[in-house]
A and B are shown apart, each in its own frame.
Chain A
Amino acid sequence: MTRHLLQVFRRYNWKDNILAYALLLPSLIFLVIFTFYPMIKVLDLSFYESVMNERRFAGLELYGHVLRDEVFLKVLRNNMLLALVTVPVSILLALYMAVWVNGKLRGRSLIRAAFFYPTLIPMIAIANIWLFIYTPDYGLLDKFLGLFGIEGPNWLGDPAWVLVSMMGMLIWKESGYFMIFFLAGLQVLPKEIYQAAELDGAGPLRKFRTITLPLVMPTTLFVLIIATTNSFKLVDHLYIMTKGGPNNASNLLLYHIYETAFSFWDMGKASVLTVILLVILLVISVFYYGYLDKRIHY
């Protein structure tokens, strides 16, 4: 064992080792303080209930409360539903946009810009604009539907519609971002294969299904991960548009943490909720690094 270790040590150049660690140190300091330490700290806090400024050890008791809490279950369900709809839809839309924007098109850079700009602007700004778009009767959406004699529902006020409305907005915001990744992926595809396929008389649909789709799979998997984690991260719009309502119908996990921690000052519960969100994200990343990484070559 020791001999093996010694061999490992000798293989490394000590000057390189010291230099490498010196170069990594600045990043490492901030990573430890604001990512790793808080993760451990919040796990610790989640075992304590705070009552009137006093900490009481509660063990797993708070987890029991949270997991049986109807509001939490509703929020979790909302978030899962949001991910299940927005992730595949925005990825498919992004792929569609990328394939065409990559080819010869009139006004290509203008079209690219139209797809990409929503990604760039703050969620708060988007929420301000879409709040007005979704306003009943006067809003842009209802005015448009009015042209066809359709009367829209109360987009943000109806519990049955609010999450759907949010999904529409998020797909609009995110698709352009994913399009850029697909565009990058499409650039490296070998042109010869397409030329050969064309000689064989393959149509655009067959070329897409048999060549493009398999070759952009690594990009798709990468985008899948970003999209999934984003669906747990994008919550700023709730502050402007619904505050999670009506009756928590649009509430999401991170916003629920924000309310629990900074409106109700329930430290124990906020910690438990954060730990649960971390577990969800870590499961996704383990899936990524453990399963998908083998299929992606950096």
Chain B
Amino acid sequence: MNQIAISILAILFAVPLIWAAVTSITPSDEMLTRANPFAVSHPTFNNYVAAWQTIPFPVYYWNTLLIVAGVLVVQLLTATLAAYAFARLRFLGQSLLFILFLVQIMIPPDILIFPNYTIMKDLHLIDTKWAIIIPFWASSFGIFLLRQTFKQIPYELDEASRVDGCRWWQSLWHVYLPSARPTYIAFALISISTHWSNFMWPLIVTDSVHNRPLTVGIAIFAQSSETGAQWGTVTAATLMVIAPLLIAFFFFQKQFVESFMHAGIK
């Protein structure tokens, strides 16, 4: 009974993706005439070809990759250092600073689109990839997640490495980083999907093809085509945008779900 109910719910959740996949291989002359929206009489990859030829995908993919990597690499560094400080050092104003850091979880830079736009303008960074990347270089969510994990690592391990003559950065490298691997994977996947998906902020701070990410690119493309005949191309383009995320999730699913469970987010 429950097996049936939950399975139906899961199918319901999967339907939009399945339908999008079917639509993306439906030729445009079948699109509006078909009675069953899941039936395709002549499946075709033409929609993908058309989308690839209309949208400068290579540029957009490259931009998105640069943005995602540019955010993640620096985030990992800043979050690791800050998380170590919060987890293992005692210092003046610790709890006050921690609360200040947590404010960013409630008020991320995305909310502050207007003032941050004026700041980017003052910095002369409008229409650069830097404008998309830099505001996210500090991630309170990452700090919070890593701090939880670091706190669970037995202090004796840390002390043992100190006795062996390790300096703090050496024990961070040899003890904390390897133990926190699942948390790093969980955080990396979240960060990648967040910045792969980011739309409003890049839309505001860029206005040329060579700086735009995928999301802004396909949004502009989708806006220019509203008739049913073009559904095929739009869904094909949309699937090309989300495919890398779905593949990454598929590969890391087990690790991802498990690390979330062990990361102490409760």
Contact = CB atoms under 8 A, between A and B. Distances in A.
Interface of A: 8-9, 12-13, 16-17, 19-21, 23-24, 26-31, 33-39, 41-42, 45, 97, 100-101, 105-107, 109-126, 128-133, 135, 138, 140, 143, 172, 176, 180-181, 183-185, 187-188, 218-219, 222, 225, 229, 232-233, 235-236, 239-240, 254, 257-258, 261-262, 267, 270-271, 274, 277-278, 281-282, 284-285, 288-289, 296, 298
Contact of A236 (B6, B92, B107, B199): B199
Contacts of A20: 85, 89-91, 94
B170 interface: no
Interface residues of B, number: 94
A172 B204 contact: no
B187 to A, nearest CB: 13
B112 A38 contact: yes
A84 B67 CA distance: 35
A132 B94 CA distance: 51
A97 B6 contact: yes
B246 A120 contact: yes
B249 A117 contact: yes
A54 to B, nearest CB: 16
B163 interface: no
B221 to A, nearest CB: 9
17 contacts: A19-B89, A21-B85, A27-B143, A30-B137, A31-B101, A31-B104, A39-B112, A41-B119, A124-B241, A125-B238, A128-B218, A183-B261, A235-B200, A240-B219, A254-B200, A258-B113, A278-B107
Contact of A289 (B78, B99, B104, B261): B99
B6 A100 contact: yes
A118 B235 contact: no
Contact of B106 (A36, A126, A282): A282
A242 B246 CA distance: 27
Interface in B239-259: 241-242, 245-246, 249-250, 253-254, 257
B7 interface: yes
A239 B101 contact: no
